[in-house]
Structure 1
């Protein structure tokens, strides 16, 4: 597991999963929200954002978490592992509620997430499996047939996966 792309709905746990894996695997981690937005929540121009990702994926080892479907092919083509957090909408909504409670809104310095809950964001979460999941699967088939796809469908499944990676890493040392 040298080049890992982590994707999934908002609130699915991408940042947390990425943080755990980066620590366990001692791999450099990039949160795409932190790359895309500045401290005033102003997005980068699309071409600049795309070029930054093209440079990131040339690295020997990396973990990149975030969606951004327009640039997903860049990450998928270079990844050797893709972790797709395909959790139910209710779980993701609970995840953003927990994030709001924990960070009390605003932009998180560690991962760039701006904790802003809007109706559009809630609608995105509620329709993710119907609208985005088929698009993600099409992109995976087209750009990542070489990569190992790990689909995690619950928090419990995700925690077991991280524990498994942690045990493997401990055995390797």
Structure 2
């Protein structure tokens, strides 16, 4: 893991990126609860509520994302590369998560089958296993961690990079974040 900078040094507009099922939404919720910063889950802006992850029209998603980025403070989790340069230019700090693809696949199964009301889920909580998502977790998002780390370095932001679940748990401990599921 990179050096753990104080959470406050990441500022009031924090981006959280990384491969699917690495813990971005859960971390965003914990940071939001700890700091009072509003949490924006890009998956919720990209997909229509009360659907099984059906995307919005692209123009609507871009409009919603830009409106969220214009606000003074946020913790924003998600990748979505179309506006990533704008998001990084507006951000004051970044966190990039990574983890073993097999563990992320197990998380995908668990959250889809058993955790309907989880951080970042869509309103309506409809979800089903999708072969396309399984393939994405195993193959498509395999190198996203290194790609996002490179982009954050070039953006010259204060950052934290994690490489596994142990690093992520350490981040929760060091920043005294509420644990997932804690009230």
TM-score category, normalised to shorter length? 0.7 to 0.9
Task: Give ranges in structure 1 of 5+ residues lacking alignment.
Answer: 168-173
Alpha-carbon distance between aligned partners in 2 of 1:72 and 1:133, rounded to the nearest angstrom: 14
Query: What TM-score do the two structures reach when normalised by structure 2?
Result: 0.76
Query: What TM-score do the two structures reach when normalised by structure 1?
Result: 0.80
Indicate the residue corresponding to 2:33 in structure 1: 23
Alpha-carbon distance between aligned partners in 2 of 1:129 and 1:109, rounded to the nearest angstrom: 22
Deviates more, 1:68-77 or 1:2-11: 68-77
Q: Cα–Cα, structure 1 residues 164 and 79, in superposed 2: closer, same or farther, change >3 Å?
A: same
For CA contacts below 8 A with separation 6 or more, give which structure has more relative contact order.
2
Please say if 1:160 is aligned against 2:170.
yes
The Cα offsets for residues 90-146 of structure 1, whole Å up to 9 and x where unpaired, read as 121121122134226xx869632864332321221122233x34543453355x22x
Q: Over the residues paired in the alignment, what is the CA RMSD in angstroms?
A: 2.4
The Cα offsets for residues 19-68 of structure 1, whole Å up to 9 and x where unpaired, read as 11110111100111111211224322212211222221222210111121
Q: Of Structure 1 and Structure 2, which has the larger fraction of its residues in strand?
A: 1
Alpha-carbon distance between aligned partners in 1 of 2:127 and 2:18, rounded to the nearest angstrom: 17
**What does residue range 47-66 of structure 1 map to in structure 2 within 5 Å?**
47-66=59-78
Indicate the residue corresponding to 1:81 in structure 2: 93
Indicate the residue corresponding to 2:112 in structure 1: 100
Runs (4 or more) in structure 1 with deviation over 4 Å come to 107-110
Alpha-carbon distance between aligned partners in 2 of 1:108 and 1:66, rounded to the nearest angstrom: 15
SS in 1 for 2:15: strand
Q: Cα–Cα, structure 1 residues 57 and 155, in superposed 2: closer, same or farther, change >3 Å?
A: same
SS in 1 for 2:107: helix
Deviates more, 1:35-44 or 1:108-117: 108-117
Matched residues, number = 162
Q: Cα–Cα, structure 1 residues 75 and 116, in superposed 2: closer, same or farther, change >3 Å?
A: farther
Indicate the residue corresponding to 1:171 in structure 2: none
Q: Of Structure 1 and Structure 2, which has the larger fraction of its residues in helix?
A: 1
